[in-house]
Amino acid sequence: MEQSVVPRQLGRRAVVIGGSVAGMLAARVLSETFGEVIVLEADQRPEGKLPRKRVPQGHHSHLLLMSGQQVLDRLFPGFTGELVADGSVETDFTEDMEWFHFGEWKRRFRGGLKNLQQTRPFLEWHLRRRLGEYGNVAVRYGTIVEGLVLSPGGHHVSAVKLRESRGGTEELSADFFVDAGGAGSQTLQWLTGREPAPHTTESVRIGLSYATRYYEGRPEDKGRSWKNLLVSAQLPELPSFGAILSFEGGKVGVTLGTYLGEPAATEEAFLKLAQSLPQPHIYDYIREAEPLGEIRTYRFPAQQRRRPDRIAGLPGRLVMLGDAYCRFDPIYGQGMSVAAMEAELLQRELAALANGSGLDTLHRIYYRGLVKLTDYPWEAALTEAFRHPAIPGDRPPGLRLKQWLTTRIYRTSARDELVYTRLVQAMNLTHAQSVFFHPSVLLRLLR
């Protein structure tokens, strides 16, 4: 079987650890420059559009930002059209979202920024289907990577050690590796042979708790003027938030959460948390609506970014992508879209290599790009989190000024269409934060 693989530009085989969103996107990108791509996924082959055991966050409402949609359409042409055809809910962000934020309801208008809403398992199912069209990509389910093998001299990774759920073990060699194994990744330990030094992981404990329940859409929902409703947290005074979001098949997801709090795991706690929000809409909604299942909870202890770029002499031919590299405060809905942007960064760096020898040092260039790519979503989330004095962490210089500016942006956007549009573009990661520094926007903020 090994002989039948046709060598391509950069190498015979690439291996991806983890077959979730980041792993599938990495595999798609690697399929262009490697003879074969093998994705190793610890979970069993998923059945239909259902949450998976090892992706417990899949039970919770997931938003796909515009930036993520754009990348998915570039990697899998026509992808978002397929989502819509299968029932994803199309929304106009500023028109279809009733949003209570920093003490005000935002004025709604048709702004043109379209979002597609679908549950996480639905999105994964479509990704799996499209990835299945690539003949040189294979997914081995029920396969757990337990370690790495380094080349003699330790310059690069040469194989992964894997164990199958049926019991077999194996060392699988390849020319290049991507760790897309999610937040629990142990790659830095495996690469260095020790616990990573503190400066190689940035971590801010936000103690976020999540609880989500799905409800059956009601006939009266159709007559409503909004499809989504969001009551945001405002730290430190209002540490809780809630959202009602529309998904495929008429499903409605209600998510409630709190910083530095306990998840609302029981019916009573769920109702109580909804009632504690500064607006009654979510409480009123869940009292009337018909639940489709149980309340699912999730604890999200810390926003975390690994910094392999700070490790001298790191072995090459392996890069991290997705939550394995960085996980963001989930309320901003950035994780999957940033993973998609990271996959495109990898695609660009691979395309720039003249031959396979460049794989030895690719990680250095890639990690430099990754720090830049993730700086904005990382800082944007922390600017808000650091408003809470009990959230620990070194406050960066200029934080107070940034917080003052974002408060101005939030308040002004409630009434000003241009500022709201810029806010939504920055949140969707389609525009850089510099959009706020255009004179036309600054003038409105400083009025």
Ligand X SMILES: Cc1cc2nc3c(=O)[nH]c(=O)nc-3n(C[C@H](O)[C@H](O)[C@H](O)COP(=O)(O)OP(=O)(O)OC[C@H]3O[C@@H](n4cnc5c(N)ncnc54)[C@H](O)[C@@H]3O)c2cc1C
Q: Quick one: which of 421, 420, 386 has its CA closest to 402?
A: 386
Task: Give the CA angle between residues 65, 54, 282 to the nearest 5°.
Answer: 50
Site for ligand X in 94-153 (CB under 6 A): 144-145
User: How distant, in Å, are the alpha carbons of 2, 22, 112, 161, 336 from that of 147?
Assistant: 23, 20, 47, 5, 25
Count residues near ligand X (CB under 6 A).
36
For ligand X, the closer of residues 132 and 396 by Cβ is 132
| Cβ burial 57-84 (10 Å sphere, 16+ → b, else e) | bbbbbbbbbbbbbbbbeebbeebbeebe
Q: Residue 133 phi/psi, 5° resolution? A: -80, -15
Concatenating the DSSP letter of every residue in 335-372 gives HHHHHHHHHHHHHHHHHT-SSGGGGGTHHHHHHHHHHH
| Cβ burial 145-174 (10 Å sphere, 16+ → b, else e) | beebebeeeeebbbbbebbeeeeeeeebeb
> Site for ligand X (CB under 6 A): which residue of 13, 28, 49, 62?
62
Kindly state whether residue 322 participates in binding ligand X, applying the rule CB under 6 A.
yes
> Site for ligand X (CB under 6 A): which residue of 96, 175, 323, 384?
323
- Whole-number minimum distance, CB 384 to ligand X, in Å? 16
- Whole-number minimum distance, CB 42 to ligand X, in Å? 4
For ligand X, the closer of residues 298 and 376 by Cβ is 298
DSSP 390: T
Kindly state whether residue 164 participates in binding ligand X, applying the rule CB under 6 A.
no
Site for ligand X in 326-345 (CB under 6 A): 330, 333-337, 339
> Site for ligand X (CB under 6 A): which residue of 11, 23, 35, 217?
23
Site for ligand X in 199-238 (CB under 6 A): 210
Q: Residue 385 phi/psi, 5° resolution? A: -60, -40
Kindly state whether residue 180 participates in binding ligand X, applying the rule CB under 6 A.
yes
> Site for ligand X (CB under 6 A): which residue of 14, 38, 63, 254?
63
> Site for ligand X (CB under 6 A): which residue of 32, 43, 221, 379?
43
Q: Tokens 């990495």 correspond to what residue?
A: 26
For ligand X, the closer of residues 39 and 350 by Cβ is 39
Applying CB under 6 A, which part among 55-63, 72-80, 190-198, 234-242 lies near ligand X? Answer: 55-63
The residues near 127 (Cβ < 8 Å, ≥ 6 apart) are 21, 24, 25, 72, 76
| Minimal CB distance residue for ligand X | 335
Applying CB under 6 A, which part among 323-331, 354-362, 380-388, 423-431 lies near ligand X? Answer: 323-331
Site string for ligand X, 270-309 (x = CB under 6 A): ----------------------------x-x---------
d(CA 202, CA 305) in angstroms, rounded, equals: 5
Contact residues toward ligand X (CB under 6 A) are 17-23, 40-43, 54-55, 57, 60, 62-63, 144-145, 180-182, 184, 210, 298, 300, 322-324, 330, 333-337, 339
